[in-house]
Amino acid sequence: MTRVQNRRARARGGELDDCLRACAVHSGKLVGSIDRRRIELSEQLRKLLVVWGTTPPTAAPAPASGATALLKRAVKGSAAAPSGGIAPELLDALLAVANQALKCGYDDELNLALVISDTVLAHRKNSRAGWRLRARLLEALGEETEAREAYERYLGLTDEDGFGVTAKIAGLKVAADRERQLLELLKRQVPDAQAFARGNPTEIWAEGLTAHALGDWAAAEPRMVGALLALADDGAPVADRQDLFSQYLDLRITVDSDVTALTEVLELYAEQRRGRMRGPVADPTIGGVKWISLGEFRNRIAGKSVCLIANSGRVGASSMGAEIDAYDIVVRFNSYKIDPKHTGSRTDIHATIHKHGFNWDKQVDTRLVFGGISGDWKWSLRNRLVPGAQTHLGDESLRWPVRNIGRLSSDQWSGIPTTGFNMLFLLDFLDVSPTLDLIGFDFYESGAYRVQEAMKLAITSVHEYTSEKAWVMERAQSMTDMRISLR
């Protein structure tokens, strides 16, 4: 059975009770797993089952009847009509399970994520998180056309593209276009391939490999290209097509003496691969941004009063806007929200984790992007930075202050440091600011205060909030309800 057939046979969802039972069954399958990703999935499933057991059922809506019911049943591929709504706590727990299942990447987990995705959208057809989950899942399954449509549905429901979806859509479109051009080029270069494009691609590919092993490239190449054409016509998953493209090119490079023709193919192959990895970069210089190193950043803040503004509910009701704007340098984090009366109106330094793009389009003097893995950090800068939105940008010497500057290993500091702690650690380490104040830092005791699109983001458990709070309190010189002064 091909992966295309497997894809078509995947389980689908829609009914909440069936979805929850599937989650309970899957939880049992993971007992004793030593796979880190599955262990994390198991924990999310445990949390879901606890929420399921403690959440009262929601009232079922009146069933559709007459023409409405007929119309719903006529929609191709529509899930079964939901028997009731999903409580917010249960919805969040389901999405957390699906997102972790997607990270696992195995077929069983992708099936579970698909069931949850169907169920969420059957009950919450305008769920932003649901449509983004659906798009990421379809992309993982290699169904890029449907994935683009789901990403576009997500964008239509939000004003904040904090996850770089616009660039993702553009990249997928470019990739699909380049792959079509690549296949057309191969048709012209290997005209005999069309004779094999109507057969079974697995069998045709095997024949091509056999011919190559016998040293008959003239017989092997048309069969291999024919198999590629057949896979494309059949709508095979992207991963399957890319795998065979790679194998074909590896073999062709060893036997092809026509450098010009081979270069044409390799260029298109590289472009479609690059499009899937990242969207097109309109301005590689990021608007002529000035990269700054650790030493240059130190000189820019030396002798200036600095305040760090928490994304906390306490700040959102503080009425401290004028006091905040009176500091020389105002630092804000990640998905900060501006309400001049309470938060102040100025942002001089935006410190953000690389994994999402909230507020990256807001004009600031300096943007520091933090990330633990250099390659992922560079990918985010390339895809998410908005040209002209920052004058100065931290270079790799400022990428991960707690680990790279403070040299605190995971043995010394087990949790992943938050954006706020990385920034505070950096400022404390440099020790050039006569005033260093934290405004509204209650470590989420008063809840989050963020841009609307980010309010659904979980307060993740991978951070050591208790340890970070203890570190701050050890260095505090004075403290009020709203302000902690470290200098």
Residue 267 has pLDDT above 50, yes or no: yes
Query: Which one has a higher pLDDT value, 86 or 299?
Result: 299
- Let me know: does 351 contact 422? Beta carbons within 8 Å: yes
Which amino acid would we find at residue 320? M
Count CB neighbours of 222 within 10 A.
Answer: 22
Q: Which two tokens stand for residue 307?
A: 């305040």
State the pLDDT confidence band at 39, using cuts at 50, 70 and 90.
very high
State the pLDDT confidence band at 60, using cuts at 50, 70 and 90.
very low
Query: Which one has a higher pLDDT value, 481 or 283?
Result: 481
Q: How many CA atoms lie within 13 A of 229 on its CB side?
A: 23
> How buried is 277 (Cβ within 10 angstroms: 0-12 exposed, 13-18 middle, 19+ buried)?
exposed
C-alpha 295 chain-centroid distance = 32
Q: Report the pLDDT averaged over residues 358-362.
A: 93
Q: Report the pLDDT averaged over residues 387-410.
A: 94
Q: Report the pLDDT averaged over residues 333-354.
A: 96
DSSP character string of 421-451: HHHHHHHHHH---S-EEEES-STTTT-B---
pLDDT of 75 reads 35
Q: Report the pLDDT averaged over residues 261-279.
A: 91
Residue 7 has pLDDT above 50, yes or no: no
Q: pTM value?
A: 0.65
- For all residues of the chain together, what is the average pLDDT? 88
Q: Which two tokens stand for residue 49?
A: 């089952």
Residue 34 has pLDDT above 60, yes or no: yes
pLDDT of 166 reads 87
State the pLDDT confidence band at 173, using cuts at 50, 70 and 90.
very high
Q: Which two tokens stand for residue 121?
A: 């959208």
In the block, tokens 């193919």 appear at: 265
* Sequence-separated (6 or more) residues with CB below 8 Å from residue 352: 333, 334, 358, 359, 360, 367, 368, 369, 370, 419
* Ramachandran bin of 166, using left for φ above 0, alpha for ψ from -120 to 50, beta for the remaining angles: alpha
pLDDT in tens, 175-227: 999 999 999 999 999 999 999 999 899 999 999 999 999 999 999 999 999 99
pLDDT of 458 reads 59
CA 292 to CA 167: how far, in whole Å?
Answer: 26
Percent of the chain residues topping a pLDDT of 70: 90
Q: 200: closest CA among 230, 229, 222, 223?
A: 230
- Let me know: does 223 contact 211? Beta carbons within 8 Å: yes
State the pLDDT confidence band at 263, using cuts at 50, 70 and 90.
very high
- Ramachandran angles phi, psi of 357, nearest 5°: -115, 30
CA 219 to CA 236: how far, in whole Å?
Answer: 24
State the pLDDT confidence band at 10, using cuts at 50, 70 and 90.
low
CA 283 to CA 385: how far, in whole Å?
Answer: 10
State the pLDDT confidence band at 57, using cuts at 50, 70 and 90.
low
Residue 52 has pLDDT above 60, yes or no: yes
Q: Which two tokens stand for residue 114?
A: 């698909």
Residue 293 has pLDDT above 70, yes or no: yes
C-alpha R_g of the chain: 26
Largest separation between any pair of C-alpha atoms in the chain: 81
pLDDT of 464 reads 64
The DSSP 8-state label assigned to residue 479 in this structure reads E
pLDDT in tens, 69-121: 433 333 333 344 344 478 889 999 999 999 999 999 999 999 999 999 999 99
Pick the range with the lowest mean pLDDT from 22-26, 74-78, 286-290. Answer: 74-78
pLDDT of 74 reads 36
Residue 284 has pLDDT above 50, yes or no: yes
